[in-house]
Amino acid sequence: MAWPQTLIDACYFIAALLFILGLKRMSSPRTARGGIVWAGFGMLLAVLATLLLPDMHNRGLIIAAVVVGVTAAWWSGRRVAMTAMPQMVALYNGMGGGAAAAIGAAELVSHAQDLAALVMAPNTLPLMPESWSPLREAAAVTPLSPVALALGVLGALIGSVSFSGSLIAFAKLQGWLDRRFVFPGQQAVNLLVLAAAVVTGVVLATGHITIALVCAFFVLALLFGVLMTLPIGGADMPVVISLYNAFTGLAVAFEGFVLQNEAMIIAGMVVGAAGTLLTQLMAKAMNRSIGNVLFGNFGAAAGGAAQAISGSQKPIEAADAAVMMAYAERVVIVPGYGMAVAQAQHKVWEFAQLLIARGVKVKFAIHPVAGRMPGHMNVLLAEAGVPYDLIVDMEDINPEFPVTDVALVIGANDVVNPVAKTDPSSPIYGMPILDVADAKQVIVVKRGKGTGFAGIENALFYADNARMLYGDGQAAAGQLVTQLKTLDG
């Protein structure tokens, strides 16, 4: 029995409200978990309403696909390590863009003139039974309006770029590809591929649709996504992930117009708007413009000779570092990707709890692009049970570093490098950083003397007030815990 269209529209409206309210709740770590649940119920309601549409076909296949997808997502979501969460986010985001592109591909193929001529011509396919109608139905579809056709092509282009680009981002984060791939004239080649994809898309949008043209369009769009992502280094992944998130949302919204599905339109626009805003925030945190993110070879080094760094790295033992922080009044802990790799967040929080028990005022300082995805450090600290009121953003914590007795940097590198303020020739010059160097004493937990993803030396490590605690993040944090317990004992 078909449900009334009014009831289905009401379900879409409620689903849209749940999407928006869920996204709003995700803006705070305190309510983020509930926001995810709200948005999830909204998506469930939208899917159920869509299945109840009177003109819906192949419900069995759709339900089977949903079951397979949910099962795979549930299994992989529970098994994935927290350190692998960025690449999982990139992969799932790419799947959304790919789904939008697939919708566009299906619509374009169904309107291809050569397919229509092949299927509808008598005696062309004598082996095809008369009762087998999917191809004949596709060839006899109602033509799309010019606006719907243009939006469908645009959504397919954006979705394809998001899909292939996200897969490359996944491969980089997973360690399957080197950090960056560059070659002479790369930007010119990228622009030529994009221009060819756009021209092909314009031809398709005018109604001149053939199977060969559709295939060429998608090959060019997918190729551009690959070429666009290859030169990007791992340190820029937060910008890339948020950018492709915005692309996926826009692609879904455009394909929603084609299918006349209100839930897709609203959800896609919300995700697209949120992703665009997040991309702007991430780009600002990296001191880059949106145009530079889209078309520049960001991740490349700046020209000119870098300023020489004087001094030397001065090691410190865990026992001395523990004593220094045990008798401090204020300690700020700065986590970075190294903490994620070492899975040291639980030991770091245990150490912080011991300091708090001694009366030390402890805070965690978060740089917007620390880690490999937006909010990466917040997720890790929340997993370890760190209270939200101890986690402070860069703008709020920077004024407190001059009155901080000890800053403990664990796994962070470029986001605390003072050359971002002092060396115009540095590739990170102008990037907002955590002013860790202003603290009275700095202890840096680091596995060795290597550079960060920007490939430059960190002047902080050579500063007079900095000491290096070499070793794996989890092992070093464990040593600090042991030494602090010894003092308490």
| Residues belonging to the active site | 414
Residue type, 384: A
> Exposed (0-12), middle (13-18) or buried (19+): which is 67, by Cβ within 10 Å?
exposed
> For residue 342, what is the enclosing H or E element?
helix 337-342
Angle at 105 between CA 92 and CA 228, to 5 degrees: 55
DSSP H/E element including 469: strand 466-470
SS (H, E, C) 78-132: HHCCHHHHHHHHHHHHHHHHHHHHHHHHHHHHHCCHHHHHHHHCCCCCCCCCCCC
Cβ burial of 263 (10 Å; 0-12, 13-18, 19+) is buried
Dihedral of alpha carbons 66, 86, 245, 211, sign: negative
Q: Residue for token digits 């292939």?
A: 164
3-state per-residue secondary structure call for 402-427: HHCCEEEEECCCHHHCCHHHHCCCCC
Q: 3-class secondary structure for 195-213?
A: HHHHHHHHHHHCCCCCHHH
